Structure 1
Amino acid sequence: MVSDQLARAGRGRQALVVCGGWEGHRPAAAGDRCARILTEAGYRVTVSDSLDSYTDEPLLRATDLVVQCWTMGRISPEQLAGLSRAVRAGTGLAGWHGGIVDAFREEPAYQLMTGGQFVHHPREPVAYTVRPCPGRADHPVLAGVGPFPVTTEQYYVHVDPGVDVLAHSEFALDPDHPELAGTLVPVTWTRAWGAGRVFVTTIGHTLADLAVPEVDAMIRQGMAWVTR
């Protein structure tokens, strides 16, 4: 079902994968992995290492899906306006972990579009269980995805109250912030932005995280769901 969703969405569609920022998340390798998946699903894929892609209006008008792998860094007003305008016009926006919700920390307008912002994680990887939210297990992004365990960097995020949270987890015990333990934190969500859709999952600190079957499924299905 995962491949079917993405293959149906990808027929004749154009995707733009934008990679850069903090090297700890291996943006180039993660972006290349994503580009291979999209190409196999039938998308025509452009990979860019420049945020100036967001000011290329002809490129964005022809783009049905933007996947961003860009942790931290800065985005210019012109670049942000171009991306926001494209999504409002119907281009889908998707990403995972820091590549989408720890990007451009100084830009609240960007955070408003993505629907959330990373604010903390424990110093070491932790084990936690991701669960579909009540009433959301039948969403196309979660097709075939039930509760599953992961051991990785767990994001504590501030989230827009207008997003549609699809999956969540209990925040693990963190010796630095024990008061946060047990807080129900969003893991995967979507939001509308004009005529476009946005997909976010907070898992994806390493390439191995992206290969976890349930994570891989959510990302593939999330990309399919937001594609124009």
Structure 2
Amino acid sequence: MKKALIFQGGWQGHEPEKVAGILAGILEEEDFNVKITNTLTTLQEDDLTQYDLIVPNWTQGTIEKDQLQPLIDAVAQGTGLAGLHGGMGDSFRMEVDYQFMVGGQWVAHPGNDGVSYNVHILDRDDPLTKGISDFTVVSEQYYMHVDPAVKVHATTPFPNAEGPYQTNGEVDMPVVWTKRWGKGRVYYNCLGHVSEIVRMPQVMDLMKKGMTWASR
């Protein structure tokens, strides 16, 4: 049986405990033994290389170097990394090494919550998106700074809400991407502002495919 670690916490507006429970449920259905922790000290106390997958679910916050480095090293050695929304894409804003590993960083959500936007699947034959059609989300629409090395699997069009960024014209912003970090696989999904969005069938399916793909 594969082993997964979910560390949850940080800003409570993203409902980290509820979201962690949903993600754990997906993994348990895929026959993972899942450990959920609400403290970052687990990252320095556990041998992280024992896990096949680590799921960050910690928005903002701060992390000590002796907590972050074991995480970075474990992924480089082959432990998978997968997560969603601010729980992985807006964690530990001062830690550029973490952002480098993840492949991007949240910078804005023009229009804030309640924006209706389309998610476009780029390749419906890809195992990470197979069987999923384009769909609409009413939530935050993440504007990200993205590593050009990532492989993009889904996008969303900007501008959608008013703002000074509109003068730059139309862009397709990555929503789902993958990359490699040493021997490890990294999967990120921008969706999932609150548990209600995570429970959308398309988001659940994307996360199931992504987390199992990223796993060692």
Cα 1:124–1:210 shift into 2, 3 Å: closer
Alignment: residue pair count: 214
Contact 1:167 1:189 in 2 (8 A): yes
2:206 corresponds in structure 1 to: 218
Provide TM-score, normalisation by structure 2. 0.94
Shift of 1:50: 1.1
1:145 is aligned with what amino acid?
I
2:55 is aligned with what amino acid?
V
The separation in 2 between residues aligned to 1:179 and 1:214, in whole angstroms, is 32
SS in 2 for 1:82: helix
Contact 1:15 1:67 in 2 (8 A): yes
Q: Match for 1:32 among 7, 16, 21?
A: 21
Q: Match for 1:102 among 81, 90, 95?
A: 90
- Percent of residue pairs bearing the same amino acid type: 40
2:126 is aligned with what amino acid?
H
Shift of 1:181: 6.1
Q: Match for 2:132 among 142, 145, 170?
A: 145
Q: Match for 1:56 among 26, 34, 45?
A: 45
1:183-222 matches, cutoff 5 A: 183-222=171-210
Moved more, 16-25 or 206-215: 206-215
The separation in 2 between residues aligned to 1:77 and 1:46, in whole angstroms, is 22
The separation in 2 between residues aligned to 1:45 and 1:215, in whole angstroms, is 20
1:131 is aligned with what amino acid?
H
1:13 is aligned with what amino acid?
K
Moved more, 207-216 or 174-183: 174-183
Q: CA offsets, 1:99-150, max 9 Å, x none?
A: 00111111111100000000000224211111122xx332211121121111
Q: CA RMSD for the aligned pairs?
A: 1.3
Any runs of at least 4 consecutive aligned residues in structure 1 with deviations exceeding 3 A, and if so which?
A: none
Provide TM-score, normalisation by structure 1. 0.90
2:19 is aligned with what amino acid?
A
The separation in 1 between residues aligned to 2:31 and 2:125, in whole angstroms, is 25
1:117 corresponds in structure 2 to: 105
1:126 corresponds in structure 2 to: 115
1:155 is aligned with what amino acid?
Y
Moved more, 214-223 or 118-127: 118-127
